[in-house]
Amino acid sequence: MDSNKKLGLIGKNISYSFSKKYFEDKFQKLMLKDYSYSIFDLPEIHEVEGLFSSPELLGFNVTIPYKEKIISYLDELSDEAREIGAVNCVLIENGKKKGYNTDAFGFEKTLMVHKKPYQNSAIILGNGGAAKAVKYILDKYGIPNITVSRTTEVNYENLDKEMVEQHKLIIQCTPVGTFPNVEDCLEFPFEALTSDHLIIDLIYNPNYTKFIINASEKGAKTVNGYYMLEQQAEKAWEIWNFQKNNLT
């Protein structure tokens, strides 16, 4: 086994990282003494070029706000990443940098565990990289969906009660309410929610965002982003360790 295999996470203002602890625990469990996982807090995306020159770097995860911006620095993309237009996992092999999207895999797993048959149309809140992965999976399963963001036709100001009543699946994909800004919450007609609604908030820190608390008070079933995060991390591990040996 090669010595000093480096992995890590790139993002901006990363105050807390699930990934670092998750992978360090994994290295310990698998007794991989030569692996390390670092946080690369990059004020600007172009600084990623400095990382690429490290010969030990096997790959890295990508978080907000670089899931879309990283694409122009890569040599190729997986089919999912190309279709979604966002990358959250990069594999470096023989100097070639390939982007993958494991958010889609993680969200798909989460959806399959919790979705009921009558939750058959969705509202996606946000239109960043994570929202794009969510839309990709909803489209894959033929679940009609609308995207709500600050700039879309239906936005946070005009999203009304009727629309929320009609869509029993709500996926919160923005970083609003993430630690340390735990009191922040998107503007949303919570009064339209019922026990028939499933709310998936992709945030995992805190466990219960203001959005989830407000939704659960209306009787909605709520799920945070922790399981999705675990699943996408496992998929990334698989890519770094197995697919690198048989890239097509």
> What is the distance between the alpha carbons of residues 98 and 46, in angstroms, rounded to a whole number?
17
DSSP annotation of 45 reads G
Over the stretch 6-37, which tens digit does the pLDDT of each residue have? 999 999 988 678 899 999 999 999 999 999 99
Residue 186 pLDDT exceeds 80 = yes
| Res 131: pLDDT | 96
Return the CATH superfamily for domain 104-226. Answer: NAD(P)-binding Rossmann-like Domain (3.40.50.720)
Are 5-101+229-245 and 104-226 equal in CATH topology?
Answer: yes
Token pair belonging to 28: 């310990």
In this model, does residue 146 exceed pLDDT 90?
yes
Strands (E), 5-117: 5-11, 35-41, 59-62, 76-77, 89-93, 96-100
Distance set, CA 209 to CA 69, 171, 180 (Å): 27, 13, 11
pTM: 0.92
Looking at residue 17, its pLDDT comes to: 80
Highest CATH level, class, for 5-101+229-245 = alpha beta
Kindly list the catalytic residues.
Answer: 67
123 closest CA partner among 219, 178, 193, 226: 193
pLDDT, tens digit, 9 for 90 and up, residues 118-130: 999 999 999 999 9
Q: Where are the domains of the chain?
A: 5-101+229-245, 104-226
pLDDT digits (tens, 9 = 90+) for 62-94: 998 999 999 999 999 999 999 999 999 999 998
